[in-house]
Structure 1
Amino acid sequence: MANQTDTRTWPELATGLYDNLTGRDAEISYEFDNFEVNIPSSTAPDSEHALWKMNGTLRISTRQGESPEA
């Protein structure tokens, strides 16, 4: 198994997801109906939270682009 480290920030999570899906013609679809989640501002135990509300569909797609020619 690949070397794994703990994800500590939202950008690290997004980068890891993108890296794992790129070049695999992957698509993830989530459908939400009155979904609510409290998003922490950090990984600290006393971090503040923001309430996110979601309805509808969220699609994440990746595709590996071609390298520009020199």
Structure 2
Amino acid sequence: MASTDAQIEETQTWPELAIGLYERLTGRGAEIAYEFEEMYIDVPDKVGEDASHARWRLDGTLTIRTSENDE
């Protein structure tokens, strides 16, 4: 697991952090819960500098559960 630990230490962005956590916890019956209180996200309608944004407000809990497929 040394490579996974090294990857976590090198994390530069939020998506990288989420991927690292998921990879580390998958198959261990893990659950990740994020709680938000008045968090606002501006969601673009397209890619580019001229994109319009819709403002989303998050107030509550987002739970992510992991499991393995038996394929």
Change (3 A) 1:17 1:52: farther
1:26 shift after superposition:
0.7
TM-score relative to the length of structure 1: 0.55
Partner of 1:46: none
Q: Which residue of 2 aligns with 1:60?
A: 64
Q: How many residues align?
A: 54
Equivalent residue of 2:19, what SS? helix
CA RMSD between the two structures: 2.7
TM-score for both structures, normalised by structure 2: 0.54
- Tell me which residue corresponds to 2:17: 13
Unaligned runs of 5+ in 2: 42-54
Matched AA of 1:27 = E
Q: Provide the secondary structure at the position in 2 that maps to 1:65.
A: coil
